[in-house]
């Protein structure tokens, strides 16, 4: 296994394809009810793994590009300027790598700054002394048989119920009047986020977004993941509720949305899990339909889920047998019109005594080359 520019590009393209499939499947309520969220979660993990494990296997099938890839590589290899009397050449590719690294550093510093700001803000507020809130939380903890100590704060600066903290959770409530039943469902929702490690998942997703910040599909995945986590939370809470209780639960979500006004999703810090993470009406409508239509009493057939997950794993492994690479049509003299492809799999270079290189393709000598710092020659092995 090797890592090449083409294996990185192929991994990114594959990841983007995963995100398209995830977004399509997530919108299908019938699919989610029949197969649950397990295949979606597996697709997310497989897609991320495909992007960060960008290796190329030796016998991968080449998907050749005669126009787009060669044009992109020519653009990336364009020389912008030289330094130190021409000993160092700076290309467009070098500048893009520098911008990439600067973006990563900026995003990580931004996260640290916002996390520190949130930590100071949360610790500056004393735990609530509202006995209704404390009693509701104690009841939830007693049923869950979990001894985790949870701090609950209430503030006018908070617009929406949310939870933060990885080991020491803090539930943040807006200064809004809620009934006892509403408080129980709100606290249970936020506590369920903590039990399912959603803050850890969001942290991992933000780190991925920080590294691959230039890929719009990564940010699409982050929004999809946030919504999927809310669906998971909803179904986990309402699965054993009757229809009336589910309707009451959904009415609380509506009340929270009205309380948040027009601050969604800006009101939610990046390292928090909230009861509502979007103002998108279609996503909110989907949450409502899934809560109403989900039949927890019906025994779910695990065979289709198992088969679908098996197919996802098989496709994920099989995708490594494909690699996208540029192909070139060489210019030849009359009488030598033999067309051949140049790829790292079928071609290599040898060094000549005069400093030039000999090109071999498919086991045949093709020509001598003076410069190999451009594609497709720069990616060929030298023997």
Give me 366's structure tokens: 């093709």
Contacts 24+ apart (CB under 8 A), 255-259: 255/178, 255/182, 256/160, 256/161, 256/186, 257/284, 259/159, 259/160, 259/174, 259/176
Q: Which of 382, 330, 333, 335 is nearest to 355 (CA)?
A: 382
Residues 340, 343, 348, 353: is their CA dihedral positive or negative?
A: positive
CA pseudo-torsion sign 41, 44, 46, 49: negative
Write the DSSP assignment of 272-339 as a string of letters.
EEES-----HHHHHHHHHHHHH--TTSPP-HHHHHHHHHHHHHHHHHGGGEEEEE-------TT----
CB proximity list for 84: less than 8 A, separation 6 or greater: none
Q: What is the pLDDT of residues 22-67, one digit of tens each?
A: 999 999 998 998 888 999 999 999 999 999 998 888 888 888 888 8
CB proximity list for 337: less than 8 A, separation 6 or greater: none
SS (H, E, C) 213-229: CCCHHHHHHHHHHHHHH
CA distance 132 to 142: 15
* SS3 at position 368: strand
- Helix count and strand count (H, E) for the chain: 12, 11
- The band of 122, judged by pLDDT with boundaries at 50, 70 and 90, is confident
Element (H, E) at 325: strand 322-326
Beta strand 61-65 with 79-83 is: unpaired
Confidence of residue 17 (pLDDT cuts 50, 70, 90): very high
**Is 3 in a helix, a strand, or coil?**
coil
What pLDDT does 213 receive?
A: 94
Pairing mode, strands 170-174 and 357-361: unpaired
pLDDT of 329 reads 66
Across 146-247, the runs of DSSP E, i.e. the strands, are 151-155, 162-164, 170-174
Mean pLDDT of 342-365: 84
- Rounded to two decimals, what is the model's pTM? 0.80
Mean pLDDT of the chain: 87
* Best CA proximity match to 196, nearest among 158, 230, 243, 147: 230
Percent of the chain with pLDDT over 90: 43
Q: From CA 246, how far away is CA 291, in angstroms rounded? A: 7
Using CA atoms in the order 42, 48, 50, 53, what is the torsion angle rounded to 10 degrees?
-130
Backbone angles phi, psi at 206, to 5 degrees: -70, -35
Structure tokens at 214: 């230039």
Report whether pLDDT(193) > 90.
yes
Using pLDDT thresholds of 50, 70 and 90, give the confidence band for residue 325.
Answer: confident
Q: What is the pLDDT of residue 211?
A: 94
pLDDT in tens, 129-156: 889 999 999 999 988 877 788 999 998 8
pLDDT of residue 347: 87
Percent of the chain having pLDDT more than 70?
Answer: 94
H-helix or E-strand containing 382? none
For residue range 221-268, list pLDDT tens digits in order. 999 999 999 999 999 999 888 889 999 999 999 988 887 766 666 667
Closest CA to 213 of 113, 99, 69: 99
HEC per residue, 252-286 = HHHHHHHHHCCCCCCCCCCCEEECCCCCCHHHHHH
Region class of 177: left (phi > 0), else alpha (psi between -120 and 50), else beta: beta
- What tens digit of pLDDT does each residue of 277-321 get? 888 889 999 999 999 988 765 667 788 899 999 999 999 999 998
Q: How many CA atoms lie within 13 A of 328 on its CB side?
A: 16
Q: Is the pLDDT of residue 200 over 90?
A: yes
Largest CA distance in the chain: 93
More confident residue, 262 or 354: 354
Peptide bond into 362 cis (omega under 30): no
pLDDT at 265: 61
């Amino acid at each position: 296994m090797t890592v090449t520019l083409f294996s990185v590009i192929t991994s990114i393209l594959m990841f983007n394809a995963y995100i398209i499939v995830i977004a399509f499947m997530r919108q299908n309520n019938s699919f989610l009810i029949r197969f649950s969220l397990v295949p979606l979660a597996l697709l997310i993990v497989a897609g991320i793994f495909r992007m960060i494990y960008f290796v190329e296997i030796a016998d991968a099938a080449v998907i050749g590009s005669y126009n787009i890839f060669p044009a992109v590589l020519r653009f990336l290899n364009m020389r912008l300027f030289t330094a130190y009397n021409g000993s160092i050449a700076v290309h467009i590719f070098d500048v893009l790598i520098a911008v990439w690294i600067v973006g990563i550093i900026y995003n990580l510093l931004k996260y640290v700054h916002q996390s520190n700001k949130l930590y100071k803000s949360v610790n500056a507020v004393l735990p609530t002394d509202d006995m209704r809130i404390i009693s509701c939380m104690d009841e939830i903890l007693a049923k869950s048989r979990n001894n985790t100590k949870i701090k609950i704060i209430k503030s006018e600066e908070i617009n929406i119920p949310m939870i933060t903290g990885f080991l020491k959770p803090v539930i943040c409530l807006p200064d809004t009047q809620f009934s006892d039943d509403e408080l129980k469902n709100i606290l249970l929702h936020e506590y369920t986020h903590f039990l399912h490690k959603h803050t850890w998942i969001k942290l991992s997703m933000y780190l991925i977004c920080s590294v691959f910040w230039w890929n719009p599909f990564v940010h699409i995945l982050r929004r999809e993941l946030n919504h999927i986590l809310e669906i998971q939370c909803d179904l986990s809470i309402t699965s054993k509720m009757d229809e009336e209780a589910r309707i009451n639960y959904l009415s609380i979500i509506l009340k929270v949305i009205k309380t948040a006004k027009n601050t969604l999703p800006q009101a939610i810090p990046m390292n928090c899990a909230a009861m509502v993470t979007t103002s998108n009406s279609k996503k909110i409508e989907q949450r409502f339909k899934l809560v109403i239509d989900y039949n927890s009493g019906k025994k779910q057939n695990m065979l289709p889920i198992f088969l679908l997950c098996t197919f996802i794993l098989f496709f994920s492994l099989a995708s490594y047998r494909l690699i996208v690479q540029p192909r070139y049509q060489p210019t030849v003299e009359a009488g030598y019109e033999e067309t051949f492809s140049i790829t790292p799999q079928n071609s290599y270079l040898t060094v000549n005594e005069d400093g030039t290189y000999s090109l071999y393709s498919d086991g045949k000598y093709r020509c001598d080359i003076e410069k190999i710092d451009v594609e497709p020659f720069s990616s060929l092995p030298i023997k």
